[in-house]
Copies of this chain bind each other. A is one copy, B any other.
């Protein structure tokens, strides 16, 4: 839980400066190439444009001879953006001041990222703030970078993310712990099992999203307990881009039927199994980590709250309740002492004076859950005694 920091240093060797050039390659290709040669001569890495001839000069979006023929414009543009975003700064070649629509679009993305941008001429007719000292020739810019007196960027780059909510819905079926998983119908991880979840929609909080997904997956989402667990934000956790997920834990009684498919994905109860987090490839994304954390949380919740009763049907016996503790804690408990402890806690279970029979042995009394939420003192989880 509480993390102690590691002592890594992040001082790395300095690389050659890299630059990306943008501007209307169609209209000003000669100027662009000339500027690129100035940077290259100074030892800079010129990430884009490639120094090869143009193709399809009559279209708005120009291509180079090295570009693949069949790709869509936006695929080529994606590759260009990779080059631009991995550069140290951007130089806008606009000899007449004007920028085309594609360059305007690129500039929007570049500025939103907070990158350092320099201009050959003050851009005309675009509502952009031009910081002082950012309009200069390629030669001056080289001198400036080598002298390390860069004035841009104006803003620290911020990362935008798509927030999602994933839910670990636990239940007990056939005396074993089960979790609700869906089979993914789309890439990435198509065909893999994953936790149910989804993107936050307009006007929703993460809790709203989680409750909506719960409602979609189980038909009694509105009545289930739910708790926020943890937020997972590793930059590479989702191959689709920056997706930050907040995990929720929900606890369900034994539901025999799960509502039908949503989003062409089937939801199923799957027995919880240690390989789900031991083997990271068992579940999609980092859902193994999420599940492990959910289980740890459930164990603690059982100690301090009355949630165990939420795993049980409306009427349950003390044995049913004990089984919940045994399955989630992975222990066996003394039935006599468990009985005494549970019945002593005020408001945990309420006798109904009905009995359940049909099984072997003395019929057990049925209880329903009481109003108590917290266990004080907590249920003690058997632990290793201190050896004397």
* A76–B127 CA distance with the chains assembled, in angstroms: 8
B114 and A108 contact, CB distance less than 8 A: no
B74 and A128 contact, CB distance less than 8 A: yes
With A125-B60, A161-B160 known as contacts, the answer to whether A233 contacts B211 (CB < 8 A) is: no
Q: Per-position contact with B for A1-44: 1 when CB-CB < 8 Å, else 0? A: 11111010010001111100000000000000000000000000
Name the residue on B nearest A100 (C-beta). Answer: B101
- Give the segment of A175-183, A240-248, A351-359 that binds chain B: A240-248
With A2-B373, A104-B104, A114-B242 known as contacts, the answer to whether A204 contacts B126 (CB < 8 A) is: no
Q: Per-position contact with B for A90-124: 1 when CB-CB < 8 Å, else 0? A: 00000000011110111111111111000000000
Known: A4-B225, A78-B129, A114-B161; 10 extra A-B contacts, CB below 8 A, are A2-B305, A2-B373, A14-B208, A74-B128, A105-B108, A114-B162, A115-B160, A158-B200, A159-B200, A163-B233
17 residue pairs A–B, Cβ–Cβ below 8 Å:
A2-B227, A2-B373, A3-B227, A17-B202, A102-B104, A102-B126, A104-B104, A105-B105, A105-B108, A105-B128, A109-B109, A112-B113, A114-B160, A159-B199, A161-B161, A161-B200, A161-B244
A203 and B104 contact, CB distance less than 8 A: no
Q: How far is the CB of A114 from chain B (nearest CB, A)?
A: 4
B202 and A145 contact, CB distance less than 8 A: yes
Pick the residue among B200, B228, B301, B376 that contacts A230 (CB under 8 A): B228
Report which residue of A18, A109, A159 has the largest number of chain B beta carbons within 10 angstroms of its beta carbon.
A159
Name the residue on B nearest A247 (C-beta). Answer: B231
Q: Which residues of B contact A307 (CB under 8 A)?
A: 2
With A2-B226, A108-B109, A233-B246 known as contacts, the answer to whether A159 contacts B127 (CB < 8 A) is: no
